[in-house]
Amino acid sequence: MFETQQPSPAVQALDRLVGTWKVTGGAEGTVRYEWMPGRFFLVQHVELTQFGEPVTGMEIIGNLRPFGEPTGTDVVSRYYDSAGNTFDYVYDLDGDRLTIWAGARGGPAYFEGAFDAGDTTLAGAWVYPGGGYASTATRV
């Protein structure tokens, strides 16, 4: 028999991302977050320009739960872009601080930012070996 599942609190905490955001900094444009039915997965739609090149893609964010296995504890994602690339991330929201690791949790490439009191701005920076850039998302 199948056990009734509920979305994890860690995934549900990302509800504060739902909506459309104007992104400025090292990448410019808009991102939009919406829930898939059931609220187990958050979908991000990306329309940015970075280093003069268009960045168009979609990201699915949630807990992994392969068939017949328990739900994973990390909030992970896979991003797909119009150039055929895929990128994996790990999300961690601790209070107002959001960390998104590129690849594995604790790796050298990550975004770290903080929400303002009204959840209208998420300001921080992407950091990676040899570089990085500031990034601010403002709710529109």
pLDDT attached to residue 28: 98
In the chain, % of residues over pLDDT 70: 97
Q: How confident is the model at residue 3 (pLDDT cuts 50, 70, 90)?
A: low
On average, the pLDDT of the chain sits at 96
pLDDT attached to residue 5: 85
pLDDT attached to residue 96: 98
Is residue 31 within 8 Å of 56, Cβ to Cβ? no
Number of residues assigned to the chain = 140
User: How distant, in Å, are the alpha carbons of 15, 50, 93 from that of 108?
Assistant: 26, 20, 18
User: Which residues lie closer than 8 Å to 70 by C-beta, 6 or more apart?
Assistant: none
CB atoms within 10 A of CB 15: 14
pLDDT tens figures, 83-120: 999 999 999 999 999 999 999 999 999 999 999 999 99
pLDDT tens figures, 49-58: 999 999 999 9
Integer Cα distance of 103 and 87 in angstroms = 7
Both tokens assigned to 11: 């995934």
Integer Cα distance of 8 and 106 in angstroms = 21
Residue-range domains of the chain with CATH? 9-139 (2.40.128.20)
Strand-pairing partners, residue 111, are: 100, 126
Is residue 30 within 8 Å of 52, Cβ to Cβ? no
pLDDT attached to residue 2: 55
Query: Which is higher by pLDDT, 3 or 60?
Result: 60
Q: How confident is the model at residue 1 (pLDDT cuts 50, 70, 90)?
A: very low
